[in-house]
Amino acid sequence: MSPQEVFEMGRKRRSFSSEYKAEVVSLVRQGDRSIGEVSRELDLTESAVRNWVRQAEIDEQGGGEGALSTAERQELAKLRRENARLRMERDILKNVWSAPNAQDEYRHDINSFASMYPAC
């Protein structure tokens, strides 16, 4: 059996709302069932439930050193996407500018842009 076939046999990645995760965390915190029992009852992976409980503790307590709250994680993901987009735009502009005769072709456009935005 190939690694691809093994991967296809496993679970597909699912996403859950923050409300659902909070409900699961509260079930674990009630104390009458373990993380393993709750995860089996709800057909979730034990590691996912454990991560949700850990993240809930970080969100409530402000986290320890190096721990990111959910809001911080979301902001970091947004900034990483923006950074990737800006890098791609920069690379496209580098490629256009380095093309033969690009300086002559685009000189007018660049000069008009510079006059519109003198602070650049």
In angstroms, the CA 96 to CA 56 distance is 47
- Chain mean position to CA 93: 26
Instruction: Say which residue the tokens 């949700």 belong to.
Output: 52
For residue 23, the model assigns a pLDDT of 95
Enumerate the H helices of the chain as residue ranges.
3-9, 18-29, 35-41, 46-61, 70-98, 102-116
For residue 108, name the pLDDT band (cuts at 50, 70, 90). low
CATH topology of domain 16-67: Arc Repressor Mutant, subunit A (1.10.10)
For residue 96, the model assigns a pLDDT of 78
More confident residue, 8 or 78: 78
Residue type, position 10, single letter: G
For residue 35, the model assigns a pLDDT of 93
Question: Which tens digits make up the pLDDT trace of 64-84?
Answer: 677 888 888 899 999 999 999
- Run of H or E including 16: none
